Amino acid sequence: MACPFFLPVTRLDQDGWIHAPRFPLGDPYQGICQAVAGEAVEPPEASLHDLCNCGYGRGRCERFPAESADAVRFSVVSTDGDSVQLIYVLEKGHAPVEHGTLEYSIRESSFAGESIRPILKAQARAFLESHLQRRASAKAV
């Protein structure tokens, strides 16, 4: 479950982890912390490894807002030739506080429907890119 304030920008090499966890976005990312409104900060490597990519930073990250969700997770619900439907769940204290579905058009490389918060959209896109890449690799085998 990634930090809900982490804007993923570029994939990281997984060699930075002794025992790489199952990454909530599919792969580890370098990115920007937007936990404090109006401040975009590039987190240090230790934070990227332990908090930004893995979530649950409350009480462990000095930038983390006290009353917000701790983490966000994604899961693919269905895939057809043209689109992928996924669900997201924002959690606080390991319990859901918000959830919804997102529809992604593979052909148009965009999300359909209502507006999506920019960080949630970027995280969903990172998750989907990893999912689609793994799916293509599995078909090639």
pLDDT per position as a tens digit, 18-61: 777 778 898 889 999 999 988 999 999 889 888 998 888 888 99
- When the pLDDT of each residue in the chain is averaged and rounded to a whole number, the result is 88
Confidence of residue 17 (pLDDT cuts 50, 70, 90): low
Is pLDDT above 70 for 112? yes
Q: Which pairs count as long-range contacts for 7-11, CB under 8 Å and 24+ apart, including other chains?
A: 7/31, 7/32, 7/33, 7/34, 7/40, 7/118, 7/119, 7/122, 7/123, 8/122, 8/123, 8/126
Confidence of residue 16 (pLDDT cuts 50, 70, 90): low
CA 115 to CA 105: how far, in whole Å? Answer: 15
Is pLDDT above 80 for 4? yes
Taking only the tens place, the pLDDT of each residue in 117-134 is: 899 999 999 999 888 888
